[in-house]
Amino acid sequence: MHNHSKKILGISAFYHDSAAAIIEDGKIIAAAQEERFTRDKHTPDFPLEAIRYCLEESGFSIDELDAVVFYDKPLLKFERLLETYYRFSPKGFLSFAKAMPVWLNEKMFLKKMIRDGLNEIEPYSRKNLKLLFPEHHLSHSASAYYPSPFEESAILTIDGVGEWSTASISHGKGSSIEVLKELNFPHSVGLLYSAFTYFLGFTVNSGEYKLMGLAPYGNPEAKETSDFEQLIKDNLIKIFDDGSIWLDQSYFNYATGLRMVKDDKWKTLFGFDRRDSEDELQQHHCNLALAIQRVTEDIVIKMALEAKKLTGSKNLCMAGGVALNCVANGKLQAAGIFDEIYIQPAAGDAGGALGAALAAYHLYFSKEERKVTRPDAMEGSYLGPSYSDKEVLQVIRKVKAVYHHFTDLNKMNEVVAGELAKGQVVGWFQGRMEFGPRALGNRSILGDARNPEMQKKLNLKIKYREGFRPFAPSVLAEEVGNYFDLDKPSPYMLLVSPVKESRRTTLPTNYHDLGLWERLYHERSDIQSVTHLDFSARIQTVHEETNPRYHALIKEFQRQTNYGLVVNTSFNVRGEPIVCTPHDAYRCFMSTEMDVLVINDFVFMKQEQPDWENREKWVVNFKMD
């Protein structure tokens, strides 16, 4: 009789970014975020559709699962809320009264909710279903360490808040993970960063990227920037040598209030009002963004040094929402504290679903030694659904689309690369959807990085989002050194590195005194639309092994233009989750000023589509994030 393989479903839900992942004997089979199916960005709902997809992709029924693992211990969270409110009462009573019924209803009956949710997917015999609840930060640690290419590694997780801990340092060895140190609520780097996200007029839990993208507009030489940094360190936060922090709660509101910060105290401290989301961005906003970015980098590096000291490891794995701060990651890489750094591409709560499943397998079920895979076990993070030509043709018939079908891939790449070189914007939809917040060449919008107009065009005409938002290059892995100061792969777009000196243009002496937009549109390099104001870029290295199709397209673009890179942004508009199905892709293509759409081997030219000028009929309104 052959040995029964272990099939485990991991779930993350009820906070934000619900997701599901399924593994068999430690191998990742599928993982996806619920928002992609329901089209509701960062949805906290029980991930019905994501679970359905994982079961379908794996071919397992619920009855065949050895366990269903939830990424968090809800009762601990409940305790934290109780204690927090107890310590801050009576002023916390208002939000307490609001939160409590939710907790009593949802979290206490979590097991029932999970069982009911699974029942909605398919009937199963409940009695033998095993439900497991690992700790939140263990789920994060596991999500980074188990897929990593390391036999042993220091593990650093940093986010807003799990149950009690807001950051942790652990040591992974073989199949085991040992937690060495934790930082507890309410002291949290993630919540500090979110507080600045809020004060600068962006949405908490989704606007953090915008804050990071705004930082390069700050003037690094301005006295105001260093003054802001000092004010933060003197008033809001104490940073200790081991990277742990203490936040002065008299400035914050998140422990008990329904808002992040005490607006009036912040106004007094920084000398300006909280920015309203539609207000014009001014230089002091940018300088404050740069100041908090620097403080965050400082903390992350201190935490990394402490992780090094406690573990003595040459390797570091990272997860948790703050691990998506690729600027800090780039600084960490450059600091050389560790020889190798591995960051989980779905570092936020969605990745918790995968981590929970992996933790259950390695720490609860497995008697096997953990097998390490290089470059990692994430399959390029292409873990979502793919669609057959038959399914694409069904959509084509439904929307009456006009298309060109290519049987020769080289011929198709020639046409598509030619369009890119002419300055056209291309929607590129191939293979399995990415897991995590970044499009990595399967659900991407592409443009020519040389084109100085490209950033403006993509922001304003395609994504309908703030004009300052930066874009990332996808560069052939073997060519990365020709463009950037980076000698390591960065397959998940999680490292920011400088653009090579030789590609930069000389800046005018008064550059830092120019207005924000003047600086943005000033030509900085020959790959202008992926060069941030501080000459850095958030890099995705494209590898033939993990994405042969995308690699071949960029290679053809290089043959035509001598440039082995393209602009890559996620296939969606502002406030919309990344597209999942061919229909999502066609709708997004038609509702924007995108020029070309490629799905599998089908190419659609905008001006050949029926009624192509009537964008309105395709527009879906997403709530602005």
By C-alpha distance, which of 152, 128, 154 is closest to 67? Answer: 128
205 in the same domain as 122: no
* For range 276-297, the mean pLDDT: 94
For residue 569, is it within any domain? yes
Backbone angles phi, psi at 69, to 5 degrees: -120, 125
Q: Are residues 576 and 521 in the same domain?
A: yes
- pLDDT tens digit sequence for 34-70: 999 999 998 888 999 999 999 999 999 999 999 999 9
The CA-atom distances, in angstroms, between 257 and each of 91, 99, 138, 247 are 8, 11, 28, 16
In the chain, % of residues over pLDDT 70? 92
Distance CA 355, CA 415 (A): 41
Q: What is the residue range of 11's domain?
A: 7-147+344-377
Say whether 341 sits in a helix, a strand or coil: strand
Find the CATH number of the domain harbouring 208.
3.30.420.40
Q: Kindly state the average pLDDT of the residues 339-359.
A: 93
Place of tokens 């908490």: 204
Tell me if residue 241 falls in helix, strand or coil.
coil
Residue 485: give its domain's CATH number: 3.90.870.20
pLDDT at 165: 66
Please tell me whether residues 338 and 446 are part of one structural domain: no
pLDDT greater than 60 at residue 75 = no
Q: Which of 619, 205, 598 lies closest to 437 in space, CA to CA?
A: 205
Of 343, 369, 400, at which residue does a domain stop?
343
Q: What is the DSSP string of 164-227?
A: SEEEEEEEEETTEEEEEEEEETT--HHHHHHHHHHHTT--TTTTHHHHHHHGGGS-TT-HHHHH
Are both 431 and 480 inside the same structural domain? yes
Q: Please indicate, yes or no, whether residues 204 and 234 belong to a single structural domain of this protein.
A: yes
- For residue 560, the model assigns a pLDDT of 98
103, 203: one domain: no
Give yes or no: residues 118 and 12 share one domain. yes
- My answer on whether 287 and 417 are in the same domain is no
- Give the integer Cα–Cα distance in Å for 514 and 505: 16
Instruction: Judge if 421 and 559 occupy the same domain.
Output: yes
Distances from the Cα of 203 to the Cα of 25, 263, 275, 276, 622, angstroms: 39, 15, 12, 11, 14
527 and 514 together in one domain: yes
Q: What is the pTM for the complete model shown?
A: 0.92
Q: Assess if residue 422 is contained within a domain.
A: yes
Which residues are CB-neighbours of 104 under 8 A, at least 6 positions away?
none
Amino acid making up residue 350: A
Q: How many domains does the chain have?
A: 3
Span of 102-111, 436-445, 522-531 with lowest mean pLDDT: 102-111
Amino acid at 50: A
pLDDT tens profile 401-419: 999 999 999 999 999 999 9
Residue 1 lies in a domain: no
Closest of 461, 465, 448, 471 to residue 591, by C-alpha: 461
Average pLDDT over the chain, rounded to an integer: 90
**Selection from 229, 212, 232, 214 nearest residue 325 by Cα:** 212
Torsion 42-531-553-324 (CA) sign: negative
Report residue 514's pLDDT band, with 50, 70 and 90 as the boundaries: confident
What are the distances in angstroms from CA 566 to CA 306, 355, 369, 462, 621?
38, 32, 41, 16, 29
Average pLDDT of the residues in 267-295 = 95
With 90 as the cut, is the pLDDT of residue 150 above it?
A: yes
CA 185 – CA 167 distance, rounded (Å): 9
